Amino acid sequence: MNLKSETKLVEAARNGHLESFGLLYEHYYSSMVALAYSMLSDRQLAEDAAQEVFAIACRDIGNLKSKEKFAAWLAGICRNISRQMLRTKARNIESITDEPADKNNQREYRKEMLRRAVRNLQHTEKELIVLRYYDNLPYEQIAEILDISVQAVNGRLIRTKRKIAKYLKCNGLTGNDYETS
């Protein structure tokens, strides 16, 4: 979907055209799940959040000022909902601590260390990584959601991956594990 056709769909949806809204839903649903997952770290909750995002979008689409920024607007709703869910989740679960990773199972150990590396990222970096790897989103769509240029997506991804690689190296995962070649 290019920007022009998307803008037309947004306009149609603003005028109450459900089918157009459905196409936007299909286009952005996965990315909203990914975005929510970057905050919630729970796939089921992330799906619930994404569903709610579109319910709020239905209600508020008339308030959307710039049709061209639909994806970024949707992402804003998603962050708000995820924050609310995170607060509820925090109340329900007293504390979450990292389990010590089992060094004897190398594969699981690497995965766990990678998860920790992602968790240690700044929020914006985590969003970027999850959007990219959760559902293999193309750079263009990530750029729309984060409201930055494709070049910026590329640059930030390289910097973030460098940071992850450094974290892994500090935790003894080097050489054939993840380092650059």
Partner 1 sequence: MKRPENYKRLDEALSETIGSKKHRTDFDHWKRTHPDAVEMLTSRARIHSRSGSLLKIRNTIMKSPITKFAAAAVLIICVFLGLNYFYDDSGKAYGMSDVPTLFYTANTIHMKGRIYFPEVQDPKKSFVEIEHWLDLVEGRWRMVVPTTYGGQEGFDISLDEHICDGSDYGMSIDHKHKQVSFAKVSKFHRNLFNHRNVYSIMQLLCSDIEGFYEYVKIDEETIDGHTYQVWEAVFPQVVNEYDSKVTSWLSPKTGEFAKAIIWMRKAGEDWKKKMEMDLVERNVPLSDEIFNLQIPAGYTSTNTKETAQNKPISSFGGGLNNYRLWTHLLFVLPDGSLVLCWSSEDTEIATSQQELFKDLKIGGEFPKLPFQVDALNVSYKGETVTFTGHHLAYTIKDNKFYEWSIYTSLKQINPEYAQLLTFYLVYSDNIKDPEIKGSFSVGIMPSILIKDREEFNEIFTGAIKELSDKTDISQELSYASVMQLARELRK
Specify the residue, 26 or 140, whose C-beta has the smaller distance to partner 1.
Answer: 26
Specify the residue, 54 or 70, whose C-beta has the smaller distance to partner 1.
Answer: 54
Question: Which listed residue (42, 86, 150, 178) binds partner 1 by CB under 8 A?
Answer: 178
Helical residues (DSSP H) of the chain, grouped into ranges: 3-14, 18-40, 43-60, 70-92, 106-119, 123-134, 139-146, 150-170
95: left (phi over 0), alpha (psi -120 to 50) or beta: beta
Q: What is the CA radius of gyration of the chain?
A: 18
CB 108 within 8 A of CB 116: no
Count of positions (residues) in the chain: 181
Q: By CB under 8 A, which span of 68-76, 86-94, 133-141, 145-153 interacts with partner 1?
A: 133-141
Question: Which listed residue (83, 103, 111, 123) binds partner 1 by CB under 8 A?
Answer: 111
8 scored as a contact of partner 1 (CB under 8 A):
yes
Specify the residue, 21 or 73, whose C-beta has the smaller distance to partner 1.
Answer: 21
Question: Which listed residue (118, 137, 142, 153) binds partner 1 by CB under 8 A?
Answer: 118
Specify the residue, 143 or 173, whose C-beta has the smaller distance to partner 1.
Answer: 173
* DSSP sequence for 46-87: HHHHHHHHHHHHHHHGGG---GGGHHHHHHHHHHHHHHHHHH
CA distance 73 to 69: 6
Question: Which listed residue (105, 158, 170, 174) binds partner 1 by CB under 8 A?
Answer: 158
CB 4 → partner 1: shortest distance, Å? 7
23 scored as a contact of partner 1 (CB under 8 A):
yes
In the numeric block, the tokens 């914006």 are attached to 124
Residues found near partner 1 in the complex (CB under 8 A): 1-2, 4-5, 8-9, 11-23, 25-26, 29-30, 33-34, 37, 43, 47, 51, 54-56, 58-59, 61-62, 110-111, 114-115, 118, 129-130, 132-136, 158, 161-162, 164-165, 177-178, 180-181
